[in-house]
Structure 1
Amino acid sequence: MSGRLDLDRETFDGIVEHARSDTPYEVCGLLATDDGERVTAHYPVPNSARSMTYYNMDPKSMLHAMNDMDDHGWELLAIYHSHTHTEAFPSPTDVELAFYPDAVYLIVSLQDAESPVLRAFNIVDGKITERVLTVEGEAAAAGPR
């Protein structure tokens, strides 16, 4: 498991656009990879909880995304969601519900709507480790390191 994650500009912009699309509610989605490092596909998944404080991926949409990954021989790279009013850091609920230890967890904060912050984490056995996140070779807007 690498200590960094490189995103292309299109994926970064897509995640931010998705986060803004349903403000003030949290959004969520999945990123797939075919090589364990770069994003191959982006799957926005409806937040069936329709909540400002947590997300629950719509089961049918999530299953469709996972089946599509399987059909293409891709793997789950990352799970993302937004925080509309708080920093881009895993909440206790995010940690409790981190069921995919091999996935990167991305959180985009819209706390400052004009300057969204995207951060990447590994969450394994309740332990949070931040990854270095870059967007097309430049460090992404990130919170405290």
Structure 2
Amino acid sequence: MLTIRRDIVDAIIAHARRDHPDEACGVVAGPEGSDRPERFIPMLNAARSPTFYEFDSMDLLRLYREMDDRDEEPVVIYHSHTATEAYPSRTDISYASEPNAHYVLVSTRDENDVELRSFRIVDGEVTEEDVKIVD
């Protein structure tokens, strides 16, 4: 189960709405080994695409160095789907390389009703998990 603060969920949804119709993407870092998402880090979708996201390789390198310096890890890796449900695509699954991360997807296909779901993706296997939002 992913336990995540409401302000972080709100920030993820706001980022997804702001970047719509392109997919938004980012990371929520937390203390190494804690499974606690604490630091919201919106990233630029280098692909600038409504159907695909890609972290800029230099931005990602900088982020991983920064997390390493702070003894953090990517607890949540999020992105949005602009026209489909919040479920990992084949491309999403093939790029999932953090076995301990929660992969959060937000669908902005319905501007009045945003769908947010979380998954574990390990060795190509997708498992949906409950999301507990706390204050």
Q: Does 1:8 align with 2:5?
A: yes
User: 2:102 & 2:62 partners in 1: Cα distance?
Assistant: 20
Query: Which moves more between the two structures, 41-50 or 54-63?
Result: 54-63
Task: Decide which of 67, 73, 76 is 2:74's aligned counterpart.
Answer: 76
User: How high is the sequence identity, in percent, across the aligned residues?
Assistant: 42
Match of 2:118 in 1: 120
Amino acid at match of 1:135: I
Match of 2:133 in 1: 135
Is there any run of 5+ residues in structure 2 with no aligned partner, and where?
none
Give the counterpart letter for 1:111 in structure 2.
Answer: R
The range that moved more, 18-27 or 34-43, is: 34-43
Q: Is the 8 A contact 1:26 1:51 kept in 2?
A: yes
Q: Runs of 5+ in structure 1 lacking a partner?
A: 138-145
For residues 9-67 of structure 1, give each alpha carbon's deviation from its aligned partner in whole angstroms, at most 9, with x where no partner exists: 11000000000111100010011111522222111110000001010001222222212
Q: Matched residues in 2 for 1:36 and 1:129: separation?
A: 20
- The structural deviation recorded for 1:101 is 1.5
The TM-score with structure 1 as length reference comes to 0.88
CA RMSD of aligned residues (A): 1.2
Which letter does structure 2 place at the counterpart of 1:123?
I
Alignment match, 1:141 = none
Q: Distance between the aligned counterparts of 2:40 and 2:59, measured in 1?
A: 13
8 Å contact 1:36–1:75 — kept in the other structure? no
Q: TM-score, normalised by structure 2?
A: 0.94
Number of the residue aligned with 1:26:
23
3-state DSSP of counterpart to 1:111: coil
Please state how far the C-alpha of 1:78 moved relative to its aligned partner: 1.4
Contact 1:6 1:134 in 2 (8 A): yes
Using the TM superposition, name which of 54-63 and 81-90 deviates more: 54-63
Number of aligned residue pairs: 134
Once residues 57 and 10 of structure 1 are traced to their aligned partners in structure 2, the CA distance between those partners, rounded to angstroms, is: 23
